[in-house]
Chain A
Amino acid sequence: MKLQCLGKQLFNSSANLPRIQLSSPMEAHLWYIIPSEVQSQSLLNQYAEILSPCEKEIVFEMRDEELRKRALLARALVRTTIARYQINSHVSPRSLKFIKNVHGKPEVDWQHCEQWRPLPLHFNISHTSSLIACGVTVDSPIGIDVEKKNRRLKHNVMSFAQRYFSKHEVQVLSAISDPQLQLQEFIKLWTLKEAYVKALGRGFSDAPFKTFTIRIRSATKGSFAGNSNFEASEIVVDSFDDSMDLTSDWKFVLMDLAGSHYAAICTKKDSSIQGIQITPTKLTVWKTIPFVHDECVSGTAAVVIISG
């Protein structure tokens, strides 16, 4: 089925995926879907139609209905998102093939494209029960993670942190006296660490959480938590085994997403830009129900940049 460009907002039209441009490695796009907003069975069937047989099998063998829906939406989100950036009309959400890199990180397999050079798009997904997100970049690896802001841990925050986080991070967390605030900062740190490891794409065991530290540095002097003036703040990662990672290569964005989640995005800095000056990532965020409705939410209350 040929995709039309700039389709009308027709319900049940799988041709409706407006084209998006992504040209610079300094840019990152984030697309997210709220599962509870997708109730139509016919829409879910449409999503199932674009999955590969392999994916369909895995989705439909899940017994729990909610989990099945979530898995379905995640795959549909990835496929439709990537398809939006393709100029060539031979590429449809269904035609995309995926491959794992040598460490197991999923990537698009462009090998089957004969006639044209596809955009070197990278993607990464993350989900919670109430939000599924897909980040895309061109020419840069990307890792994202989302977590619910009000997530409860079964274990004590500090014993969790002591077990899995670096010494510096433990220090920062233990300096926060309010337990609610401490939990929130923990979750923010978790999303940043997850995003970093996923961006590295080498598998968790190559970068255990304890071996690197993430710091949020604000340009103005002040304490880390409770300092609302984060205008010029910067998130950096230090690794104890710097020989492997060149940690100065990575940059982060941390945000409050849809009022309900923290989201972290990690991408690689443009190596052609020299010097200490860090150019912030230009981030655009869309809320989507693929084939039905896309809404650019950057600059609205749905996206509040915390740092980066």
Chain B
Amino acid sequence: MASITGSFTSLSCSLMPNQAVNRVSKLGSVSLSISGKSFPSLRVQPARFHASCAAKPETVDKVCKIVRKQLALPDESKVAGHSNFASLGADSLDTVEIVMGLEEEFSISVEEESAQNIATVQDAADLIEKLIENKGA
């Protein structure tokens, strides 16, 4: 699904099927905001939801488990915090199902807008903890 990007001029971009991934190629001084979904080193959190600290490892593990189940991944396949759903073979329908699975597991409710902004396991875990925190507050 589409990602949120800021303003930019020319980039040579790569495209994940049904997902958008931005990469930077230096074109003079251009100010870019990137949502580097498959590159942890270039990641900037979209302005829409800010996670001030990363989620607990247990949360990340639970998310990995749900993702594995939804995508029917073999046990040996590597799924971790930085794993991008699209890179694991998830299409938009899978992503939505993963979110539904997370809602059930954690007893939370994810808004549709937030659901479609989740691109990695870490995104999901961070959002879950934020929602749990808001629920408790």
User: Whole-angstrom distance from the CB of A136 to the nearest CB of chain B?
Assistant: 15
A126-B10 contact, Cβ under 8 Å, with A154-B70, A205-B116: no
One of A54, A100, A103, A209 near B112 (C-beta < 8 A): A209
Does A102 count as interface, using CB distance less than 8 angstroms? yes
**Contact bitstring A130-162, B, C-beta under 8 A = 1, else 0:** 001000000000000001000101110001100
A147-B93 contact, Cβ under 8 Å, with A111-B10, A154-B70: yes
One of B2, B17, B25, B93 near A74 (C-beta < 8 A): B17
**Contact bitstring B77-97, A, C-beta under 8 A = 1, else 0:** 110000000011101110011
Does A164 count as interface, using CB distance less than 8 angstroms? yes
Inter-subunit contact B4/A98 (CB<8 Å) = no
A210-B15 contact, Cβ under 8 Å, with A160-B100, A204-B2: no
Interface of B (DSSP majority class): loop
Inter-subunit contact B112/A104 (CB<8 Å) = no
Most buried by B among A159, A190, A201, A204: A204
Which residues in window 1-18 of B have CB below 8 A to A? Answer: 1-5, 7-8, 10-18
Inter-subunit contact A106/B15 (CB<8 Å) = yes
Cα-based distance from A116 to B117 in the complex (angstroms):
39
User: Whole-angstrom distance from the CB of A138 to the nearest CB of chain B?
Assistant: 21
Kindly list chain B residues whose C-beta atoms are within 8 Å of the C-beta of A154: 69-70, 97, 100-101
Inter-subunit contact B14/A190 (CB<8 Å) = no
Cα-based distance from A66 to B77 in the complex (angstroms):
13
Cα-based distance from A215 to B132 in the complex (angstroms):
37
User: Whole-angstrom distance from the CB of A165 to the nearest CB of chain B?
Assistant: 11
Kindly list chain A residues whose C-beta atoms are within 8 Å of the C-beta of B69: 154
Inter-subunit contact A98/B112 (CB<8 Å) = no
Inter-subunit contact A64/B13 (CB<8 Å) = no
Kindly list chain B residues whose C-beta atoms are within 8 Å of the C-beta of A151: 93
Inter-subunit contact B16/A71 (CB<8 Å) = yes
Does B122 count as interface, using CB distance less than 8 angstroms? no
Inter-subunit contact A164/B112 (CB<8 Å) = yes
Inter-subunit contact B12/A97 (CB<8 Å) = yes
Kindly list chain A residues whose C-beta atoms are within 8 Å of the C-beta of B87: 62, 67
Q: B-contacting residues of A (Cβ < 8 Å)?
A: 52, 54-55, 57-59, 62-64, 66-67, 70-71, 74-75, 78, 97-100, 102-106, 109, 111, 125-129, 132, 147, 151, 153-155, 159-160, 163-164, 190, 194, 198, 201-205, 208-210
Q: A-contacting residues of B (Cβ < 8 Å)?
A: 1-5, 7-8, 10-18, 20-23, 25, 35, 38, 48, 69-70, 77-78, 87-89, 91-93, 96-97, 100-101, 112-113, 116-117
Closest CB pairs A-B (n = 3): A204-B116, A203-B2, A205-B113
